Amino acid sequence: MDPLTILLVGLGAAVGAPLRYLADTAVRSRLDPVFPWATFAVNVAGSLLLGALVGAAGTLPPEIGALLGTGFCGALTTYSTFGYELVTLAERRVTATAVGYLLASVVIGILAAAAGWALVRLAL
């Protein structure tokens, strides 16, 4: 693997991870603590950006994909926290919230990715 690509992935992650933490802290202090709004928000935002990057594939240098796609989006979004929060909601027997979180995360995440892709494709 190219050392520059590794560096770019690391740089993207170095921005995405702290941003995820800051978003989590900001959202938790303002919204309902039962629904995992912070994880939901960063995952939807990351899906939108990743969809846009895929839509621009072929027009951007691969280094941008490494920096923003793998590095930034990879560190910003979090499937593991999504899974943990979903299990926690189920264990707390907040079933409607757990099901809503699952469905909203999957459906809105896919729609966000599709919207990002479509917006870039329309612009090209």
Please give the annotated binding residues for Na(+), written as ranges. 74, 77
* Annotated binding-site ranges: 74, 77
Residue 67 contacts residue 9 (beta carbons within 8 Å)? yes
Exposed e or buried b per residue across 95-115, where buried means at least 16 C-beta atoms within 10 angstroms of its C-beta: eebbeebeeebeebbeebbeb
